[in-house]
Amino acid sequence: MKQVESIIMNMSADLNPRPVSASFVEMDEIVQPSDLNIHGSIFGGYLMSLMDKAGGISAFKHCGVNVVTVSVDQLVFKNPAPAGTVLSVKASVNRAFHTSMEVGILVTGLKPGEPKETTLCSAYITYVAIGADGRPVPVPPSLPETPEQIRRFCEAEVRRSVRLALAERLAGGSEARQC
């Protein structure tokens, strides 16, 4: 926890840290017949749109300015869901960086006739705060408070470094040329 505190204190002198709990979002939806794919279960694109909406609201609650989606990582569809399933889309900021924020999103579903919720989908979506000119603006640091939030905070840095290293490695096209 001491290490997390010192990272946060070094991040920004003029933006006060915001607790992760302040960015928590939970949206409920019911799966309608019009939301299904040809297999009779929820259409992935519809689920992704709900996740992006919840994630964007979470990022907005953290920074208080407009945000745009810049990347989606580790989107995993774990289970299908039929019509009538009640979806719960949960999102919160795992970590704020300089102008970007990684939001973790989990979708669970209570299927008709089943006693317990099932995990349906999860993803990490990165949002960038933008000013009136459409350019990135700094966001407040995020303050993880529970052991789970601290774990996500630390893992978010690992994902970010992998994400940015991969983007840089592929940017010039030299890797593809050597293939």
Ligand X SMILES: CC(C)(COP(=O)(O)OP(=O)(O)OC[C@H]1O[C@@H](n2cnc3c(N)ncnc32)[C@H](O)[C@@H]1OP(=O)(O)O)[C@@H](O)C(=O)NCCC(=O)NCCS
Give contact residues for ligand X (rule: CB under 6 A): 68-71, 97-100, 126, 128, 130, 136, 163-164, 167
Q: Token match 């919160």: residue?
A: 92
Residue 87 to residue 9: CA distance in whole angstroms: 38
Of 70 and 83, which CB lies nearer to ligand X in the complex structure? Answer: 70
Q: Which two tokens stand for residue 47?
A: 């689920």
> 66 vs 118, which CB is nearer to ligand X?
66
CB of 163 to ligand X, least distance (A): 5
What residue type is assigned to position 39 of the chain? H
> Residue 36 CB, nearest distance to ligand X (Å)?
25
Q: Are 25 and 127 in contact (CB under 8 A)?
A: no
User: Least distance in Å: CB of 157 to ligand X?
Assistant: 11
Q: Is 55 helix (H, G, I), strand (E, B) or coil?
A: helix
DSSP character at residue 39: T
Nearer to ligand X, 20 or 81 (CB): 20
Judged by CB, which is closer to ligand X: 57, or 83?
57
C-beta closer to ligand X: residue 23 or 85? 23
* 52: Cβ contacts below 8 Å, ≥ 6 apart: 69, 72, 125
Least gap, CB of 71 to ligand X (angstroms): 4
Listing DSSP states for 117-165 in one string gives: -EEEEEEEEEEEEB-TTS-B---PPEE--SHHHHHHHHHHHHHHHHHHH
Cβ at position 139, least distance to ligand X in Å: 8
Q: Which amino acid is at 19?
A: P
CB neighbours of residue 111 within 10 Å: 19
